[in-house]
Amino acid sequence: MRFVRLRKGVSWHNTSNAMRGDADFSVCLNCTKVVPVKHVTNFPLYNGCLDPYGSMAGLVADCQKLGLDGLEVIWDHMPYIGELPPEGFAVGYHLKFWSHWLDFYRGNTDALLAEYGSWDMVREYFHGDDAQVLVDEFKEDLQRAIDLNAEYVVFHVSDVSIEECFTYRFSHSDEEVIDAAAELVNRFLDGSGARMAFLVENQWWPGLRFTDPKLTRRLLDAIEYDNKGVVLDTGHLLHTNRALRTQAQAAQYIRECFDAHGQPHGLVRALHLQQSLTGEYVEGRGFVVPDDLGEAYWDRYTRCYNHVVQIDRHEPWTDPAIADVVAHIDPEWVNHELSAWPREAHNEAVATQLATLRQG
C-alpha cells in the first residue's frame, strides 16, 4: 500500500488504486482531494555506492520492491556516477555542503587559518580563494538538479567548526548563519532558471534549528524565490533536546516544534525521516576537545566525522507514534534518510520504517 496526503486535512489513508504508481493520481473522497505522498530514500551519485546493486536498474528494482517512488540524490566532490537514475526517479536533489563555510564566505582569514592550518589547506577544502567559489560551486550543483529534473532541492543552513562539534561553544549565532545563508542562496539562484521547490534543512548547529519560529520565518523571508519551504530532518531536530530518551518522547517533541510554528500549510514540505536519541552520548563526553583530535586538518576532520555519526545515527523509527506526527505535518515528500549500508541493510532499514508508518 502507498500513503497519500489530503489537501484539506492531516489524515492519512491507504488506497489500492495508488499502487499503480501514477504520479498524477487523485481521487475525490468526501470532497477532499487526495494525492500521493512521494516516498524516497537517500543515495549518493557515486559509482562505489552503486556497485552493490550491480547497476542502476538493480537500485531502481530494489526501490520499487520497497514501494518507493524514487531517490533523493547527492553529489559531493566524489567522482560523478557513470549511470544516472532514469527520468523522474531522482525526485529530490541534496545540494553539496561545507559544514564550516561562513568564515570563508566573509573572508575571516584569522579564523580560517586557525581552523585549517594554512591557506593551501583552505584552498584545497573550498576549491578556491574567495566567496565567489561557493556561488559558482552551488550554481554548478544546482544545474545537476535541473538536468535530472528533480522536484525539489535541499540546502543545509548551518555552520560549525571541528572543535565546536565537540564543545558546543559556537563562534557564530543562528542569525549570522541564517542571514549569510540567505544571501548566498540568492546569489546562486539568481539567473539559474530553477523552478523546483527550494527547501532549507534544519541542523542542530548554529543556523536553522527549527526551534524558533521567528528565525525560520527570517530565513524564508530573506530567500528571494517563490517556490520554497523547509525540509524537516526529524533526527536533527531531536539533537536540539538532549533530554529525550524514547521515541515516543521524540515524536511528541517534533510535533510541539512544528505546532509552535503555527501549523502553516506548506511550510514543511518534506521530511528527512530518521531518529537518533543520542543525548546521553553527547553529555557523557563532557563537551571537551578530545586529546586525540590531532594536528593535520584531515586527521581532525576524520576524528570529528566519527564523532558526529555517533550523534546523528540516522536510524529507522520503530515506534508508531511517529506516524501521527508525519500525518499531522502532511509533507509532499518523505525521504527515508537512513545510514544503514550496504544494500541489504539499507533495504531492511527502509522497510522497517515504512512498516512503522503503516502501523500508525
Given pLDDT bands bounded at 50, 70 and 90, which one contains residue 77? Answer: confident
Over the stretch 186-202, which tens digit does the pLDDT of each residue have? 999 999 999 999 999 99
Q: Report whether 253 contacts 244 (CB < 8 A).
A: yes
C-alpha cell of residue 66: 520497497
Over residues 166-181, mean pLDDT: 98
Over residues 65-72, mean pLDDT: 98
φ, ψ dihedrals at 230, nearest 5°: -115, 140
Cα 242 to the center of its chain, rounded Å = 20
Q: Report whether 297 contacts 359 (CB < 8 A).
A: no
Residue 180 has what pLDDT? 98
Burial of residue 294, with CB atoms counted within 10 A of its CB: 0-12 exposed, 13-18 middle, 19 or more buried = middle
Over the stretch 269-290, which tens digit does the pLDDT of each residue have? 999 999 999 999 999 999 999 9
Given a cut of 80, whether residue 324 has pLDDT beyond it is yes
CA distance 282 to 160: 16
Over residues 89-109, mean pLDDT: 98
Over residues 293-310, mean pLDDT: 96
CA distance 136 to 138: 5
Which of helix, strand or coil describes residue 303?
helix
Q: What is the pTM of this model?
A: 0.91
Mean pLDDT of the chain: 90
The strand pairing partners of 233, in sequence order, are 272
Nearest to 231 by CA among 203, 212, 207: 203
Given a cut of 90, whether residue 17 has pLDDT beyond it is no
Percent of the chain as helix, strand, coil, to the nearest 5: 45, 15, 40
DSSP state of 194: -
Supply the DSSP string of 216-254, one letter for each residue: HHHHHHHS--SSEEEEEEHHHHHTT-TT--SHHHHHHHH
Over residues 251-265, mean pLDDT: 92
Over residues 132-140, mean pLDDT: 97
Over residues 335-357, mean pLDDT: 96
Q: Report whether 234 contacts 189 (CB < 8 A).
A: no
Rg of the chain's alpha carbons, rounded to an integer?
A: 20
Which of helix, strand or coil describes residue 131?
helix
Q: Which long-range contacts (CB under 8 A, 24 or more apart) does 120-127 make?
A: 121/297, 125/98, 125/297, 126/98, 126/101
Nearest to 159 by CA among 112, 110, 224, 218: 112
CA distance 84 to 315: 27
Q: Report whether 152 contacts 199 (CB < 8 A).
A: yes
Over the stretch 44-59, which tens digit does the pLDDT of each residue have? 998 889 999 999 999 9
Over residues 331-340, mean pLDDT: 96
CB within 8 Å of 163: residues ≥ 6 apart: 289, 293
Residue 1 has what pLDDT? 37
Reported as half-sphere exposure (CB side, CA atoms, 13 A), residue 10 has a value of: 12
Over the stretch 141-164, which tens digit does the pLDDT of each residue have? 999 999 999 999 999 999 999 999
Given pLDDT bands bounded at 50, 70 and 90, which one contains residue 360? Answer: confident
Residues of the chain above pLDDT 70, percent = 90
Residue 33 has what pLDDT? 40
CA angle 337, 194, 217 (to 5 degrees): 65
Over residues 165-173, mean pLDDT: 98
Domain boundaries, the chain: 1-36, 37-359
CA distance 271 to 329: 9
Residue 82 has what pLDDT? 82
Nearest to 319 by CA among 270, 268, 355: 355
Residue 35 has what pLDDT? 55
CATH of domain 37-359: 3.20.20.150
Q: Which long-range contacts (CB under 8 A, 24 or more apart) does 2-6 make?
A: 2/36, 2/39, 2/67, 3/36, 3/37, 3/39, 3/334, 3/357, 4/34, 4/35, 4/36, 4/37, 5/34, 5/35, 5/36, 5/37, 5/330, 5/331, 5/332, 6/32, 6/33, 6/34, 6/330
CA distance 303 to 143: 33
